[in-house]
Amino acid sequence: MEQRFTVAVVQASPVVFDRERTLDKVHALAGDAARRGARIVLFPEAFVSAYPRGLDFGAYVGGRTDEGREDFRRYWESSVDVPGPAVDRLARTARSHDIYLVVGVVERDGGTLYCSVLFFAPDGRYLGKHRKVMPTASERLGWGFGDGSTMPVYDTPYGRLGAVICWENYLPLMRAAMYAKGVELYCAPTADQRDSWIASMRHVAVEGRCFVLSCNQFNRRRDFPTNYRTPFGDDPETVVCRGGSCIVDPFGNFLAGPDTDGEAILVAEIDRAQIVRGKYDLDVVGHYARPDIFQLHVDERPKRPVTITEDAVEGRAAPEGSARPEERSRRSNEPHANELAGRS
């Protein structure tokens, strides 16, 4: 286990609604971070290919507009199939730069979009994903809900690596579940640019006695298409999202950031010994817990809307009420084998 190493968070803007050019940018920026010594590189929430800040997708109580439906179609077209060609390109980026790559994407599965984080190993293996379990407010117009089956924490040579997206971090029980999985490198890709978010990242680091890598986009109006209908006006220099990315140690100290000045790659050296030093007086799922009073039960089973049971021998639907050993459940988005291997 490496005791000291460098991590990086990339505060930048994607090429909004252009998946291929955004993947090019991920490759270039990840390379910059790797050349600065980073072994783990984090990109913001929904980086490939957009956090649709300001869009309402034409929704109002009781109706939707044709223009809003077209906005959603454009968003869907620029999203990512998992697995798929974009995942393959991200895997090549991780391999070519010899890094653990953690990147926020907009994942499409059928007609539904999900806010997801994908994990890749330095040898290019796709490790798996986390789907945001609770989109916030108007995000629910565009994104579906993840379930408990994609909340992984991965063993790496640098510590146990996981991700909690944006306001999922305000779900105390989800944080507790991640602490129970032993997360040490707690990635928090976000779209929240408020001062309160930065305070929350310090709290999470202290509460979990873990290193927190928080990563946000920095956007100006010029980073969005000219026909992007938002309340931000048309001045190309208007700051749409100011960033605020930071890296925090287990005692709540900033190792890098917060940065609100522009696009940046923030790097910091991690000293794993700080985790154990912090656990000495605070381990919220160990000696500081009171399981005689408080207990959390986490359901990580996939929640499938449709399960089709077939006769595996003849390929016909089994009679209602039958229960045969060869019966099986199928779903197009069954978890990838590498996800199952890496899941806690």
Which residues are registered as beta bridge partners of 215? 189
Under 8 Å between Cβ of 99 and 132: no
Indicate if 45 belongs to the active site.
yes
Residue with tokens 């001045």: 235
Query: Residue 132 catalytic?
Result: yes
The string of DSSP letters for 149-183 reads: T---EEEETTEEEEE--GGGGG-HHHHHHHHHTT-
Comparing CA positions, the residue from 251, 261, 213, 186 lying closest to residue 7 is 213
Residue 128 in contact with residue 339, Cβ under 8 Å?
Answer: yes
Q: Please tell me which residue in 25, 129, 132, 181 is annotated as part of the active site.
A: 132
Identified catalytic residue from 45, 107, 168, 207: 45
Q: Do the Cβ atoms of 139 and 258 come closer than 8 Å? A: no
- Tell me whether residue 210 is one of the annotated catalytic residues: no
Rg (CA), the chain: 21
Cβ 179 vs Cβ 206: under 8 Å: no
Q: 196: which 2 tokens?
A: 């309160």
Active-site entry in 25, 107, 115, 166: 166
Contact criterion met (CB below 8 Å) for 113 and 75: yes
Residues 6+ apart with CB under 8 A from 33: 8, 10, 41, 97, 99, 265, 267
Residue type, 302: P
Active site residues: 45, 132, 166
